[in-house]
Amino acid sequence: MSYFAALRVALEALFVNKGRSTLTSLGIVIGIMSVIAMVAAGGGAKEKLDERLDSVGKNLILLRPGGQTATGLNVQMTPLTSDDAKAIREDPILRPMIVGVAESQPMPTIVSAANITARTTLVGNPPDVFKIRRWELQGGRFLNEADNKKSANVCLIGDTVRKKLFPNKKLPLGDRVKVENVSLEVVGVLKPKGQAPTGADQDDQIFVPINTLQDKLAYSKTIAIIVIGVKRTEYLEPAVKRIDRIMMERHRIKNDGQKDYNVKSIEEMASLAVLLTDTLNILVIVIASISLVVGGIGIMNIMLVSVTERTREIGIRMAVGATPGDIRNQFLMESMMLALVGGLIGVLLGIGSAYAITRFLEWPIFISPFYIGLAFGVSALIGIFFGFYPAAKASQLDPIEALRYE
Q: What is the pLDDT of residues 91-104, one digit of tens each?
A: 999 988 888 888 88
Q: Which of 48-52, 69-73, 76-80, 324-328 has the lowest mean pLDDT?
A: 69-73
Q: Could you tell me the pLDDT band of residue 206, with boundaries at 50, 70 and 90?
A: very high
Closest by CA position to 195, among listed 358, 361, 356, 366: 361
pLDDT above 60 (res 121): yes
What's the N-to-C CA distance of the chain in angstroms? 26
CB atoms within 10 A of CB 340: 17
Q: Could you tell me the pLDDT band of residue 77, with boundaries at 50, 70 and 90?
A: low
When the pLDDT of each residue in the chain is averaged and rounded to a whole number, the result is 80
Mean pLDDT for the stretch of residues 363-383: 77
pTM over 0.75: no
pLDDT above 50 (res 72): no
CB atoms within 10 A of CB 404: 11
Q: How many CA atoms lie within 13 A of 223 on its CB side?
A: 25
Q: Could you tell me the pLDDT band of residue 146, with boundaries at 50, 70 and 90?
A: very high
pLDDT above 50 (res 73): no
C-beta of residue 189 within 8 angstroms of C-beta of residue 140: yes
Q: pLDDT at position 161, please? A: 92
CA distance readout (Å), 86 to 103, 247, 251: 9, 12, 14
Classify burial at 171, counting beta carbons within 10 Å of its beta carbon; exposed 0-12, middle 13-18, buried 19 or more: middle
Mean pLDDT for the stretch of residues 370-381: 79
pLDDT above 90 (res 185): yes
